[in-house]
Amino acid sequence: FDLPWIPIYLLLLFFIHPVLGTVATLGALVLLGLAIVNELVTSAPLQVAQDSAKRSFVFTENILRHADVIVSMGMREAVRRHWRRSRADMLYEQAFASDRNAVISATIRFARLFLQALMLGTGAWLAIDHSIMPATIFAASIIMGRALVPVEQGVAAAKQFNAARD
């Protein structure tokens, strides 16, 4: 619901001062770029992890369905080793995909916080230069925060949307 307001917030920052609008617009583009990188870097490992999990769960279901045959044929240890290896592969793939996603998500959060600090610094520089009023620094920071929050939330929502679509 906040997405349509992004251009309005950015335009408002341009009205306050073009430098503030430029910083916020470039920041939004950086966050959007990081979101695209996140999708490109994590989509394949997540798919591999899901496929591994499906194979492991199907194998587990088959073990349970045919447990009496496995025990009667003396295959319990071989099946147990195979099951453990299958589960370990699944957990490794999930951890790998999760770690990649966590690194990019943390980078996006860091970038947003860095942009907030950059906006405050830019505002302070403009206030010292008497281009804006000192109170405008905080207004610009709040407006930029409101403009960038939907971008960060969109990253999380895009993952859920893609998972639901798949």
- Per-residue pLDDT tens digits for 38-66: 888 888 888 888 888 888 888 888 888 88
**24 contacts 119 by C-beta, under 8 angstroms:** yes
Q: Does the structure show a pLDDT above 90 at 118? A: yes
Q: Write down the pTM of the prediction.
A: 0.74
Q: How high is the pLDDT of residue 166?
A: 67
> What average pLDDT score do residues 83-94 get?
85
C-alpha dihedral, 74 to 75 to 81 to 82, nearest 10°: 180
Q: Does the structure show a pLDDT above 90 at 23? A: yes
Residue type, 33: G
Q: How high is the pLDDT of residue 163?
A: 67
Length of the chain equals 166
Letter string b/e over residues 29-38, b meaning 16 or more CB atoms within 10 A of that residue's CB = ebbeebbeeb
Dihedral class, residue 17 (left if φ above 0, else alpha if ψ from -120 to 50, else beta): beta
Pairwise CA distance, residues 77 & 28, whole Å: 55
Pairwise CA distance, residues 114 & 111, whole Å: 5
Q: Dihedral of CA 31/34/39/42: which sign?
A: negative
Q: How high is the pLDDT of residue 37?
A: 87
On average, the pLDDT of the chain sits at 85
> What average pLDDT score do residues 140-155 get?
82
Higher pLDDT among residues 16 and 156, named by residue: 16
Q: How high is the pLDDT of residue 98?
A: 83
